[in-house]
Structures are given as C-alpha cells and as structure tokens.
Structure 1
Amino acid sequence: MSPLLLGLSGQVVLKMIWFAYNRARCLIEWLWRITRGFFLCCFTRVFTPIARYVLSAIGWREEHGSRNEPEVNDENKPQTTGSQDDRVEEPVGQWEAGRLTAGFDRKAEEREEEDAEEEEDEFDQEEYQVDPSDELYCGYDSTWETGEDQSSTHRRGRRPGASRHQYKFSRFENASRDMQNYRHDYPSQIRRQPWNQNMSSDDKPNLGFYLGNNPSLPDGLYIHNFHNDWKGEYNTLECVHTFIQWLFPLQEPGMNHEASTLTKEEIKEFLKSSTAKENLLKSYELMLDFYGIELCDKETGEVKRASNWRQRFSNLNNHTHNNLRITRILKCLGTLGYPHYQAPLVHFFLEETLVHGELPNVKESVLNFFVFSVLDKKQRRKLIKFAYLNYDAKDEFVWCPRKIQILWSEPHRGVHGRKDGFEHYPDQKQYQI
C-alpha cells in the first residue's frame, strides 16, 4: 500500500474516532442531565442520616436543638398572622367558640368552659414535670417540658423500661428528631439551590404557584387545574407523585427535585395573601376528599367522615405512602396559616384508629408523626392523653413518659367519667356510618 493511501486511511480512522468520541460524549452528557437528580436524591437520602448521626454525636443538640428554642405554647402565643418565626396560634377558647353555635343551653356552655379550664390547668401542675431518668423519656420530644431550667442534653443510653419495647421506642425516637426539627423551625436546615437549570429564576416559586402565576413542574399544571380538574380523580391522585410538594410546600426537600423548598420570605408573603391562603384551603379539601374526609367547619378545622369513606379508607390503608403525604400536609398547615387545623385532623385519625379500629396501617404513623406535628403544646398533650386512654395494650404505649402514664391511670384523673379527656373539642361523633 502506498504512503498516500496509508496517510488517507490514518486520517479516516482518526476522524471516525473523533466522531465516535463526540457522539459518546453527547450521549454521556444527556444521560447525566436526566439522571443526576436521581443520584442526588440517593446521595441525599444516604448522607443526611449519617450527617445527623455525626452532628448528634458531637453534641449538636446542645448548640442548635436545645430545649429552650422557641416553640408555640399558650404562654407566648402571637395573636396576629406572621412568619414561621411567629407561629400563628388560635387564642385560648377557639375550640369552645365553635361549640357556642351548636345550640347548647347556657348552663351546658358554662359547664364545658369550666371543664376546659380544668383540663388546661392540668398539664401545668408540678406533678407533670418529667425527669430525664424516666424510662420512656425521649430527649427529642419537647412536649412535656415545663421550665427553662431543664437540661438540654439528650440521654442516649437506653433506659430499662424502653428496652422492653426497644424497636417501637426507637422508631418513635427517630421520628421525634424530624418532628422536633419542624416544630423548632428547622434550626439545622441547609438551604440548597435548585439543581434544575430549566427551573424559573423566580426566588418565590411556591408563592407564584399558589397565586396562579406559574405552573408546577414537571406536570405543567396551574393551581386552578388541580382544584378544578383533579378533584375526584382518585387514580391520578394516588399514582402521580410529583404534585404533593407543590400543593403542600415545606422548608424541607421532597422527592420531586423540580419543586423548591419554602423560604422565609415566601412564608411571610404567603401569610399576607388571602388568595394564597384560600387556594391552600382548597388544596386541603381536595386531599381530604381523596382520603374520605370532609371539612365541616372552616373556622375550627373540624372534620368528619365523607359519604364515601369506606372506599377511600381502604385505599388509604393499602397505600402507606399516603402516611408521608398526610405528615407533609399537617406540617404545611402549621407553616402557612392553618395551625388550628392540625389538632382536629389528628384527633380524627386517633379516633378512627384507636376507637373505631379502622386504618390499622396508619396507626403507627398517627402516633409517631401526626400527633407530634401539632405546634400547640397543650393541644399536643391532650392528643397524647386521648391516645393513651384509648390504647388497648397500655404497657406497650411508648409515646409519653411512664410517670405521666401512671398519672393518667389514676381513677380520679377522668373528667365526668369521659374516657377521651377531650371535652373542649367540637363534637367529633358526626360520622356517617
């Protein structure tokens, strides 16, 4: 073969190699663009628990997650709508206000108000102070804190009583970390920039979505599309997993990497917008309908079973990813202007699971997550008391200190013979069976 042909052959081979390299590079870049979100998710899900464990091991809670961080209680409730740093709480007596319109006679009203005051005072008594040495004490749960002089150091050693139900208590303890982080307004949250270059440059995408200015991603739907077209579309609501982060945004990331976490600025503007809050209420009713629940009082947040509750309960019980959705919904209600809706919904699920025996696959999530999403500390205590008094195997109840369980087991602790200890709530017995 002549040198000329050899030279030409070499150039052809080099061009073919260069062409193949360019094609392969383009293919690799394309694959990386469509899969990097998945790898980022995997990395985050693996790295985050490790980081939390390391931070906890070096005493992170003493610096950031202390028991003295601001949390909603009845002593410092703000009376006006504000940011996440100024949690919105209903004034004492909000629940009673919903009952005054029910046609009770004056004596019944006065008796209920007196009972509610007794119930409010109960948890402030000195005997409710819990020592960290209690066998079911959980250092990540601030529900039973009564003073600022308590130690903020979490005792990591397993206590004898907890060892009897170590697995159940460990699950509660792990859930408590997450719920404490939420109730204390994410003190350790690391704000991440959106990875998707195609996302809007608007720094308030969640607010823009709720004002109807921009669509959700990747579905490309506006808020009115969800409210008008998705209600009753139960298969779609069950199978599509990219909408829940848009309908109920939080200051923590979800599985949809094209959705953004809430910012402090968004929360402040959201709480000032009647349009955004009205749209959030419609989103809440959309999901309640999906779960077989009806909002029957927009003032108090009281809920009841919907007419199709049997079918919807069956779906909820068989698809447990909805437990995560409901936890997100409860957190969002507390963040974006509806904290008084939390306790009625949680009480509904407690009654369904513990009293009526429905939704057995939801019960653990109700006790580990739903209850502890409630921002109002006294309401949270009432919910736990209701749960304990209606929990069959009381020796397996790990969601409050043993000392308090002993107090509640004393005969004189009942109010007028009621088992639930929830007299201040609106009537919860409006079920369509």
Structure 2
Amino acid sequence: MKVKRTSASGPRRGSGRSRRKARVTMSWPLRDRLCSAVAWLWRRTLAIRRLFAPITRYLRSLTGWTGECSGGDGPQLPDQQEDLWEAGRPGRPEVRRGSGGKREARVRVPVEDPEQEEEKQEDEECDREQYRSDNTDEFCCGYDSTWETEQTEERPAASIRLQHRNQGMSSYKFNRFENAARDMQNYRHDYPSKRRQHWNQNIASDYNPNLEFYLGNQPSLPDGIYIHDFHTEWFGNYKNLEYVHTFIQWLFPLMEPGMNHDASILTREEIEAFLRNDTAKENLLKSYELMLDFYGIELCDRITGEVRRASNWKDRFCNLNRRTHNNLRITRILKCLGILGFPHYQAPLVHFFLNETLVNGELPDVKDSVLNYFVFAVLDKKQRRSLLEFAYFNYDRKDEFVWCPRKIQMMWSERSASESQEGVEGENAVKMLTWV
C-alpha cells in the first residue's frame, strides 16, 4: 500500500507543477490587459481630479470648511493637511477644537498646495509652448491678447496683413473681428489710449456722479430717474427698456463715452470708491437682473453668476433678434461687470450666448456679436481660451472660424482626436476585463 501511494504521488506532484506552470503562462496576457486598463483609469482619474479641483477649492473657500466634522467628535485631518486645504486664505482666523473640547482660534498659515503648483506649472508650460502664436499665422490678430505669453499695456497699432490670406468669407469675417478687437483690447488693457486723459482732464477728482446715482442720491440725466425707480417701476416694462436709449449709460457706466452726453464716464477714483461700497454693488446686481429679465434670462446663482433661460425667453429672444442695438448694450454690460466688481459673471453669460447661438440655433442675429465682442470682453485669459475652444468645436464651418490663430485650432483638433483615441482604448480595456 505504501508503495502504491508513493508511486501514485509522483504523477500527482508532476501534474500539480504542470498546472501551476500553465496558470503562470496564461496569466501573462491577463496581466498585460490589467496594466493597460489600470494605466487608462489612472489617466482618466488624474484628468477628473484636475477638472474638479477648482470647484472643490472654491466650495471650500466659500464655506470655510477645514475638513472637520460638524460635531467635532469625528475624525479630523492633521494640522498640516488642514492648512493645505485652506491655502489661499492666509491671515484669516480659524476656529477649531483643542484638547478638552474648547474652541481655540489660530491664524491659518498659507501652505502651497502641490496640485495648485502643478497646475500653475502646466499653465506656464502652455503659455511657453502650446498657445504661443506669431504674426505669420493666418488668423493672428495684433489686437487680440488672448494668446499673449506676456501681458503688456499696449499692443501693436495694427495687425500684420498677410498677402496669402484666403479671400472670401474668411477674410470678411476676420476683418470684422479685427475692427472689433481694437476696441476690446483697449478695454481689457485698462484703456491705455491717450483719449482717456482727454476724457478726464476737466473732471474733478471728488466728483462721482455714477456713484451718487447708484447710492440713490442723484437721478439719471436727462430722464431724472432714480436708481430704485429703475429697479421697481422699470422691471418688466419692456417698452421703456427697448425704446429709451439714455438710461443704459447710467445703469452700466464705463471709462469711455457713450451716446448719452449727459452721462459721465467713470474715473479711476470713482471705480475704487464704488468697489468699496456694498450698497452700490448690490444695486448694480439688481440692474443686471433687470436687464437679464428684459433679454429672457435669469440669474440662478448670485455667487457664481450662472444664468439660464427665463420663462419668457421665447418672446424676449424674438425681440433680441430683431433689435440688434441690444448687442451693443450687452457688450457694455459685460464691460461694466468686469470693471465694477463682478468679473466672474462675464464667462457664464458669454457661455450662455454661445450655447444658444451655436448649439441650440437660437439668436442667429446675435452670433456675430457674441464671437466678435462678448467673448473678448471676458477679462480672464484662461476663461477666454476655454470659451473660444467651446465655440470652435460647436461652429459649423470650422474653415471659417477666424477668432483664434490657425495653430491653436490645429492643436485643439489634434488633442480632441487623441482624447477620442484614449476613450476607445479605455472602452476596449474595460471590455477585455469583462471578457476575462
């Protein structure tokens, strides 16, 4: 019996080694599939983290969240990690629970966030390489600072016109864009034109008619209407808002003259005083909501500036299509928001108009103004780039898209093709894992 067991155990041991060897051999293809799937998931996770990182930082800064549980008894982040979440808010007192459950206050010490530092380096790299454009590009506009690598107060006096530029519709569109870009460049660079000195040379430094109007101490001229009357009696009065042309310069003043000669332009001192006054800024916000309602739009988030269609959008969109002078008013509104404390409201409104014109097919008579003026009123360069990228991918005739250099358009197309390929590879990897 022992001999039989010994003789039988030999083949069993041999077959076990063979099975283990076979399993190891068969595991290599599975390992390759797993590695490719894990690599794809890692790339996607990193992209998602970078996408939502600004949102999470904004929410933390808004709510003052430090990572502690509301009850104070749950798990807490280490001190160093708490400071990391609160980077960007130095000098503000932080209330936290110390030993014994007592509430203690200490000042947050700014700590550099590695993710923020990484994003900053990536942005600088993009400025150095990807977004660099030169005057030999077919659609390089000398008045457009969106693709500048360094901010300067003044731009070249004119664009370099290329002899080989395509004729026809593209040339016509580019010429219109170039004419508009001159005005928008002057605004974005804080009006470096010498005309500003001429406008302000006879204005006393202590004369603040726009601020006094927004504080309710002075009526508009020549109509004689106070700010609270605009907000109450004119709200929903679409006839007055459409046919009266002397109020818009008072509701949304700028550092440039308008059609109402009784309105005063903003001075630098007046802007600084306006930004320090909460009453004036609150009234400006009400004026913004007044005009949004006139255009069939409503402000759904006062913090972010997010807007959406109002219930009366169909009728108001029809009026906006017919009365194209409102395009000039919207441009003025966007400029004023950037100057008087609401620059973060600019991009949401412009994105709304891009979506309505290019995606939904509404407001066809507003589309040119959106692309030539609205987008380039946005002061934040990164937001302008994102808006232009959105416009490019939703524009029907991409060969006629003249609002950014051709090199940038090619870069966007190549990156989109690469991301699509990564998506296909990721789907294939998931299918392999499912099959295995």
In the superposition, the TM-score normalised over structure 2's length comes to: 0.66
In the superposition, the TM-score normalised over structure 1's length comes to: 0.66
Counterpart amino acid of residue 236 in structure 2 = G
Counterpart amino acid of residue 93 in structure 1 = P
Equivalent of residue 394 in structure 1, options 377, 395, 398: 398
Question: What is the match of residue 190 of structure 1?
Answer: 196
Equivalent of residue 380 in structure 2, options 361, 376, 380: 376
Question: What is the match of residue 143 of structure 1?
Answer: 146
CA contact (8 A) 1:134 1:402 kept: yes
Structure 1 portions without partners, runs of 5+: 1-91, 102-112, 419-433
The whole-number CA distance in structure 1 between the counterparts of 2:315 and 2:56 is 30
How far residue 124 of structure 1 moved from its aligned partner, in angstroms, is 3.4
The whole-number CA distance in structure 1 between the counterparts of 2:421 and 2:274 is 44
Q: Helix, strand or coil: the match of 2:165?
A: helix
Equivalent of residue 160 in structure 1, options 156, 164, 187: 164
Note the alpha carbon deviations across 1:246-287, whole angstroms, 9 max, x for none. Answer: 000000000011001101110000000000000000000000
Question: What is the match of residue 329 of structure 1?
Answer: 333
CA contact (8 A) 1:98 1:300 kept: no
The whole-number CA distance in structure 1 between the counterparts of 2:417 and 2:235 is 44
RMSD in angstroms over aligned alpha carbons? 3.3
Question: What is the match of residue 11 of structure 1?
Answer: none
1:241–1:151: structure 2 CA closer, same or farther, 3 Å change rule? closer
How far residue 132 of structure 1 moved from its aligned partner, in angstroms, is 1.1
The whole-number CA distance in structure 1 between the counterparts of 2:397 and 2:336 is 32
The whole-number CA distance in structure 2 between the counterparts of 1:414 and 1:344 is 28
The whole-number CA distance in structure 2 between the counterparts of 1:367 and 1:318 is 18
Question: What is the match of residue 298 of structure 1?
Answer: 302
Provide the identity percentage.
66
Equivalent of residue 93 in structure 1, options 44, 54, 57: 54
CA contact (8 A) 1:218 1:258 kept: yes
Which stretch of the first structure deviates more once superposed, 342-351 or 200-209? 200-209
The whole-number CA distance in structure 2 between the counterparts of 1:167 and 1:220 is 43
| 1:179 matched to 2:184 | yes
Question: What is the match of residue 219 of structure 2?
Answer: 215
CA contact (8 A) 2:274 2:340 kept: yes
Counterpart amino acid of residue 365 in structure 1 = S
1:360–1:98: structure 2 CA closer, same or farther, 3 Å change rule? farther
Q: Relative contact order (alpha carbons < 8 A, sep ≥ 6): 1 or 2 greater?
A: 1
Q: Return the index of the structure with the highest Cα Rg.
A: 2
How far residue 190 of structure 1 moved from its aligned partner, in angstroms, is 3.4
How far residue 93 of structure 1 moved from its aligned partner, in angstroms, is 2.5
CA contact (8 A) 1:247 1:283 kept: yes
The whole-number CA distance in structure 2 between the counterparts of 1:95 and 1:142 is 29
Which stretch of the first structure deviates more once superposed, 241-250 or 119-128? 119-128
Count residues in correspondence.
313
More helix by share: 2
How far residue 131 of structure 1 moved from its aligned partner, in angstroms, is 1.4
- Taking the TM superposition and a 5 Å limit, the aligned residue runs for 1:31-42 are none
The whole-number CA distance in structure 1 between the counterparts of 2:236 and 2:421 is 41
How far residue 163 of structure 1 moved from its aligned partner, in angstroms, is 3.5
CA contact (8 A) 1:162 1:169 kept: no
CA contact (8 A) 1:94 1:300 kept: no
1:417–1:252: structure 2 CA closer, same or farther, 3 Å change rule? farther
Q: Helix, strand or coil: the match of 2:365?
A: coil
Counterpart amino acid of residue 373 in structure 1 = A
How far residue 167 of structure 1 moved from its aligned partner, in angstroms, is 1.4
Which stretch of the first structure deviates more once superposed, 408-417 or 296-305? 408-417
Q: Helix, strand or coil: the match of 2:225?
A: coil
CA contact (8 A) 2:135 2:160 kept: no
Equivalent of residue 239 in structure 2, options 227, 235, 241: 235
Structure 2 portions without partners, runs of 5+: 1-52, 63-114, 423-436
1:140–1:193: structure 2 CA closer, same or farther, 3 Å change rule? closer
How far residue 224 of structure 1 moved from its aligned partner, in angstroms, is 0.2
How far residue 146 of structure 1 moved from its aligned partner, in angstroms, is 1.5
